[in-house]
Structure 1
Amino acid sequence: MNTIYGFGNALVDVEIKLEEAQLKEVGIEKGSMKHISSQDLNMFLDLYSDQIFSKLPGGSIANSLHAANQNNATTHFSCSIGDDDYGKYFIDSFDDKRGSISFSKSKLSTGICLIFVTPDGQRTMAAHLGANLDLCPKSIELERLQSSEFLLFDNFSMSSPGGLETTKYALASAMKSKVCFGVSDVSLVSENLENLQWLSNIGIHLLFGNKNEMSLINNSINMHAENILVTYGAEGASYNDISVQAPEIEIVNSNGAGDALIGTFLTCLSTENDYTSLKKAVDYASEVCKSNGPRIK
Structure 2
Amino acid sequence: MSHATDLAAVGNAIVDVLAHCDDDFLTEHDIPKGGMMLIGAEHALTIYKAMGETTEVAGGSAANSTACLASLGGSAAFIGKVGQDRLGGVFRNSLGDIGVSFTTSPMADHTATGRCLINVTPDAERSMMTFIGAAEHVSEADIDEAQIADAAVSYFEGYLFEQPVARAAMVRACEIAKANGRKTAITLSDSGCVERQRNHFLSFIREHVDIVFANEEEAKMLADTLVFEDAPKLLNGLAPYLALTRSEKGSVVVSPDGSIEEVPAIKPEQLVDTTGAGDGYAGGFIYGFVRDLPMAQCASLGSLAASEVISHMGPRPQQPLSELARQQGLIT
Same fold by TM-score greater than 0.5: yes
Does 1:244 find its partner at 2:246?
no
What is the TM-score with the length of structure 1 in the denominator? 0.91
Q: How many residues align?
A: 295
CA contact (8 A) 2:268 2:310 kept: no
Which residue number corresponds to residue 66 of structure 2?
65
CA distance in 2, matches of 1:277, 1:96: 26
**Following TM superposition, by how much is the alpha carbon of 1:129 offset from its aligned partner in structure 2, in angstroms?**
0.7
Identical positions, percent: 24
CA distance in 2, matches of 1:168, 1:248: 37
Which residue number corresponds to residue 234 of structure 1?
248
**Following TM superposition, by how much is the alpha carbon of 1:29 offset from its aligned partner in structure 2, in angstroms?**
4.5
Which residue number corresponds to residue 12 of structure 1?
15
Deviations 1:263-296 (A, max 9, x none): 0111023153222222232122111111111112
The 10-residue stretch of structure 1 (180-189 or 28-37) with the greater mean CA deviation from structure 2: 28-37
Structure 1 169/30 Cα, relative in aligned 2: closer, same or farther at 3 Å?
Answer: same
Question: What SS class does the counterpart of residue 198 from structure 1 fall into?
Answer: helix
Deviations 1:71-120 (A, max 9, x none): 12221111111001111111112225852112132121010001121211
Structure 1 192/28 Cα, relative in aligned 2: closer, same or farther at 3 Å?
Answer: farther
CA distance in 2, matches of 1:254, 1:277: 21
CA distance in 2, matches of 1:58, 1:97: 13
What is the TM-score with the length of structure 2 in the denominator? 0.82
CA distance in 1, matches of 2:98, 2:27: 43
Which residue number corresponds to residue 228 of structure 2?
none
Does 1:282 find its partner at 2:300?
no
The letter of the residue matching 1:110 is: T
The 10-residue stretch of structure 1 (262-271 or 180-189) with the greater mean CA deviation from structure 2: 262-271
CA contact (8 A) 1:73 1:98 kept: no
Higher RCO structure (Cα 8 Å, ≥6 apart): 1
CA distance in 2, matches of 1:117, 1:49: 11
Structure 1 32/61 Cα, relative in aligned 2: closer, same or farther at 3 Å?
Answer: same
CA RMSD of aligned residues (A): 2.3
Deviations 1:3-45 (A, max 9, x none): 1111111111111323234435555554332221113212322
Which residue number corresponds to residue 287 of structure 2?
267
Does 1:126 find its partner at 2:129?
yes
Does 1:201 find its partner at 2:218?
no
CA distance in 1, matches of 2:206, 2:304: 33
Once the two structures are superposed, the pairs formed by residues 1-297 of structure 1 within 5 Å of their partners are: 3-24=6-27, 26-27=29-30, 29-46=32-49, 48-50=50-52, 52-95=53-96, 99-106=100-107, 107=109, 108-175=111-178, 176-219=181-224, 224-240=238-254, 241-269=261-289, 270=291, 272-297=293-318
CA distance in 2, matches of 1:132, 1:97: 21
**Unpaired runs of at least 5, structure 2:** 226-230, 255-260, 319-332
Question: What SS class does the counterpart of residue 229 from structure 1 fall into?
Answer: strand
CA distance in 2, matches of 1:248, 1:295: 14
CA distance in 2, matches of 1:170, 1:216: 26
Deviations 1:200-223 (A, max 9, x none): 331421111211121122117986
Question: What SS class does the counterpart of residue 79 from structure 2 fall into?
Answer: strand
The letter of the residue matching 1:264 is: G
CA distance in 1, matches of 2:296, 2:173: 30
CA distance in 2, matches of 1:104, 1:81: 8
The 10-residue stretch of structure 1 (263-272 or 95-104) with the greater mean CA deviation from structure 2: 95-104
CA distance in 1, matches of 2:18, 2:239: 34
The 10-residue stretch of structure 1 (217-226 or 103-112) with the greater mean CA deviation from structure 2: 217-226
CA distance in 2, matches of 1:194, 1:254: 29
**Following TM superposition, by how much is the alpha carbon of 1:185 offset from its aligned partner in structure 2, in angstroms?**
0.8
**Unpaired runs of at least 5, structure 1:** none
**Following TM superposition, by how much is the alpha carbon of 1:64 offset from its aligned partner in structure 2, in angstroms?**
0.3
Question: What SS class does the counterpart of residue 213 from structure 2 fall into?
Answer: strand
